Structure 1
């Protein structure tokens, strides 16, 4: 019996595309910290073709982008477990009531950025 949760993504045997240089905005870092989320796990999902919660039209765009070298985008919802601005912490940069994190890999595969929607 496997200890893996049914919702745990199974990374592709080989990444579908290179990530390039991985960058994160201040807001993304704050959301990842607040939700105690390991960015590497989200990047594994992204590079494996698990695009998270994107619109079906965007799934088709990503498929075309994989085949023809366009921009790739994933959207993941992170469980908000803390309260922004707890005592002893600095105020958040973005609106951390929104639990979505975007990951975008550029068309030339030179970089992948983790960011909040309002930071786009």
Structure 2
């Protein structure tokens, strides 16, 4: 898989290497709930599936590699996706007890 490094304006290769991991309890912050307004929470399920499946969304290659490593060695995992014209983050804690869906401003 190729990605463009915007800062250095060059293409870099990324080969996914994540393994399956537990999400733990799923928590959605008030900011995301407010953003959804009347939309159902089920609209977030595809993003959770991508996160669990090793598709880290809109993060740099180094963060993708760090996430892949984290699935194997028990570190925190962070994905970023566009939803309703905003970024949402999904963070799974290192101990895999909880996965939080939040706005970057809530971090």
TM range (shorter): 0.7 to 0.9
Q: Which has the higher contact order (CA 8 A, sep 6+)?
A: 1
Report the Cα offset of residue 18 of structure 1.
0.7
Q: Aligned partners of 1:32, 1:16: CA distance in 2, in Å?
A: 28
Mark the runs of 5 or more structure 1 residues left unpaired by the alignment. 1-14, 81-98
Q: What is the number of residues matched between the two proteins?
A: 88
| TM-score under structure 2 length normalisation | 0.74
2:93 maps to which residue?
A: 106
SS of 1:17's equivalent? Answer: coil
Q: Aligned partners of 1:76, 1:35: CA distance in 2, in Å?
A: 17
| TM-score under structure 1 length normalisation | 0.67
More helix by share: 2
What value does the CA root-mean-square deviation take over the aligned residues? 1.9
SS of 1:108's equivalent? Answer: coil
Stretches (4+) displaced over 3 A: 32-37
Report the Cα offset of residue 35 of structure 1.
7.1
- Larger Cα Rg: Structure 1 or Structure 2? 1
Report the Cα offset of residue 40 of structure 1.
1.1
